[in-house]
Amino acid sequence: MIENDSKLSIEKSASGRRALVFNARNKNGIKIPQHLLRDTEPLLPELSELEVIRHYTLLSHKNFSLDANFYPLGSCTMKYNPRINEIVSSLKNFEDLHPLSDDACAQGTLELLYHLEKALCEICAMDATTLTPAAGAHGEFTGAAIVKAYFENKGEKQRVQIVIPDSAHGTNPATSSMLGFETVEIKSNEKGQIDIETLKKALSERTAMLMLTIPNTLGIFEADIEKIVSIAHNSGVVVYMDGANMNALIGILKPGDMGIDLMHLNMHKTFSTPHGGGGPGAGAICVKKYLEPFLPVPRVIKEKGMFRTKSDCPLSIGKIKSFFGNTAVLIKSYAYILSHSNDSLSEISKNAIINANYLLKKLGKLYPPHNREYCMHECVLSCPEELLKNQVRTLDVAKRLLDFGLHAPTVYFPLIVKEALMIEPTETESKETLDAFIQAMQKIYEEGKYHPETLKKAPINLATKRMDETFAARNPDLRWESKKTCSSKV
């Protein structure tokens, strides 16, 4: 069956088969020195054009993707990526720009980056932005490096700790370690929010930064945020916001107004650029005025009506990425922002919150929710006791969803919730799609109760059945090796 054909293109190869044959002519008789020639023919797939097309089309059919499937992967904001973003970013003047061009020849792109920085400052009520970080975690790294440089410059080198709630993104403690900070974890209270007394105890003259994910990984807003920020500021601590969940806040609330000192934005999540296949993303950092001197270079500035890059910034943490980061992603994000009016920008988050709460109310009856009352842009549920009793776990529920043509939610995260299912529907899904998801989840609940064996075997209807993930992780086989030997001299 062709659908099940899992051969690699090189395994389908037939000697001498070609799509196009070029007649290479060495007009000028250039001779490449013998020692620069390879000893063996390169091992490349030899296929007809039709075979290549079929190969990749079949592969794309096997893939779960946002363009084909509902994709409620919690914390990832898998919203629709409007095609106009693609059209704009592939305009020739953007696409053909050489990264080493003079500023004078790169005016359009620099102007766009300049205005995107301004737009993000306005959306977040911050004073300055850098667009260079390659993704969210890289943004965090940049942010923590800025704070480190700030305290070193201030002569407060004893500030070596970062305080992080247990409801934060997993990358936060990793960022802290990468920069040589000590991580101090604080436990959330029963509401899933920061406990003020615990926070007070954790902060000291050794604390550099409080790192908050807002809304947190439980999909809950920190109701005491103003109190939290003022306690931190009174101890001389900088407050960082992980803005990966900004899809819950745009146009409703500006982090800078809450007293946040610096934050990152996942452009590929909130501002709708394709992600999920390993990138590229973009992770802007927005800061308050007093942290601006530490931003990475190059900066984009406007001078005498022209836009230019500036790298002469003595307190800057330096370069963190080649050129301007992932510019194509940034162009798409800017197109997304401009294609919304002020009003429609805040509709994004309102609808994301409504969709998540609709799922919470409907599914919360069967799958126990972490917080029954409300959530922001995502909700966290657990595998029901009735199913756990039948040896059915969250993983089995997730695998079965694939059989219904639905991408699974994030599972087993956040770690503080047992058997967690983290569901983020985003604002771009219709009620009909959400209802289809609810129906599938209800059916899976029934199956788990009366026919648990179906769930243990799932997925049943897909070309690839249940994988042994433990075996794969323990015995990673990551390299394809040719059975053919290529010994022929070129």
Query: How many Cβ atoms are within 10 Å of 281's Cβ, its own excluded?
Result: 23
Which residue, 251, 221, 222, is CA-closest to 375? 221
Angle of helix 171-178 versus helix 136-154 axis, rounded to 10: 40
By CB under 8 A, name the one of 99, 108, 170, 318 that touches another protein.
170
Our CB check for another protein shows the closer of 197 and 469 to be 469
Tell me how far apart the alpha carbons of residues 110 and 308 are, in angstroms, rounded to a whole number. Answer: 7
Cβ at position 222, least distance to another protein in Å: 23
Helix (H) or strand (E) holding 240: strand 238-243
CB of 395 to another protein, least distance (A): 9
**Residue 270 Cβ, how far from another protein at the closest point, in Å?**
25
Q: Does 57 bind another protein (CB under 8 A)?
A: no
In DSSP terms, 398 is beta-bridged to none
Residue 39 beta carbon to another protein: minimum distance, rounded to whole angstroms: 36
Whichever of 20 and 473 has its CB closer to another protein, that residue is 473
Which range touches another protein (CB under 8 A), out of 82-90, 231-239, 430-438, 466-474? 466-474
Span from 132-140, 204-212, 320-328, 467-475 in contact with another protein (CB under 8 A) = 467-475
Q: What angle do CA 260, 212, 76 make, to 5 degrees?
A: 110
- Residue type at 234 in one-letter notation: N
Positions in 191-220 near another protein (CB under 8 A): none
Nearer to another protein, 193 or 410 (CB): 410
Q: How far is the CB of 373 from another protein (least distance, A)?
A: 22
* Interface positions, 377-416, toward another protein (CB under 8 A): 412-413, 415
Beta-strand pair 182-186/207-213: unpaired
Task: Write the single-letter amino acid at 261.
Answer: D
Q: State the minimum distance, in angstroms, from the CB of residue 473 to another protein.
A: 4
- Residue 165 vs 255, nearer CB to another protein: 165
Residue 219 beta carbon to another protein: minimum distance, rounded to whole angstroms: 19
50 lies in the binding site for another protein (CB under 8 A)? no
Residue 474 CB, shortest distance to another protein, in Å, is: 5
With respect to another protein, which residue has the nearer C-beta, 390 or 394?
A: 394
Q: Kindly tell me which of 342 and 475 has the beta carbon lying closer to another protein.
A: 475
Token readout for 267 is 């452009």
Nearer to another protein by Cβ, of 389 and 431: the residue is 389
Among all chains, which residue has been given the structure tokens 């005025």?
289
**306 scored as a contact of another protein (CB under 8 A):** no
CA gap 285, 175 in Å, rounded: 14
Interatomic CA distance for residues 247 and 214, integer angstroms? 10
Give the shortest CB-137-to-another protein separation in angstroms: 14
The torsion angle over the Cα atoms of residues 340, 344, 346 and 348, rounded to 10 degrees, is -80
CB 262 within 8 A of CB 238: yes
Nearest distance from C-beta of residue 412 to another protein, angstroms: 5
Nearer to another protein, 99 or 170 (CB): 170
Residue of 474, 479, 484, 489 that binds another protein (CB under 8 A): 474
* Closer of 39 and 190 to another protein (Cβ): 190
For residue 469, the minimal CB distance to another protein (Å) is 6
Q: How many residues bind another protein (CB under 8 A)?
A: 8
Residue ranges with strand state E in 32-177? 128-130, 161-165
**DSSP assignment letter at 290:** G
Distance CA 151, CA 145 (A): 10
| Part of the chain binding another protein (CB under 8 A), chosen from 102-110, 305-313, 361-369, 469-477 | 469-477
Q: Other C-beta atoms within 10 Å of 476: how many?
A: 8
Give dist(CA 241, CA 255) in Å, integer.
Answer: 8
- Give per-residue burial for 78-101: e unless 16+ CB within 10 Å, then b: bbebbeebeebbeeeebeeeeeee
Of 284 and 398, which CB lies nearer to another protein in the complex structure?
A: 398
Minimal distance, residue 411 CB to another protein, in Å: 9
Q: Is 227 left (phi over 0), alpha (psi -120 to 50) or beta?
A: alpha
**Cβ proximity of 255 and 241 under 8 Å:** yes
473 touching another protein, by CB under 8 A:
yes
Residue number with CB closer to another protein (358 or 412): 412
470 binds another protein (CB under 8 A): yes
How many whole angstroms separate alpha carbon 444 and alpha carbon 450?
10
Interface with another protein (CB under 8 A), residue from 303, 432, 469, 481? 469
Q: Which is nearer to another protein, 474 or 489 (CB)?
A: 474
Looking at residue 70, the DSSP 8-state letter turns out to be B
Three-state DSSP state, 382: strand
CB nearer to another protein: give 393 or 407: 393
Q: What CA–CA distance (Å, rounded) separates 174 from 140?
A: 10
Cα–Cα distance between 341 and 335 in angstroms, integer? 12
Binding positions for another protein, rule: CB under 8 A = 170, 412-413, 415, 469-470, 473-474
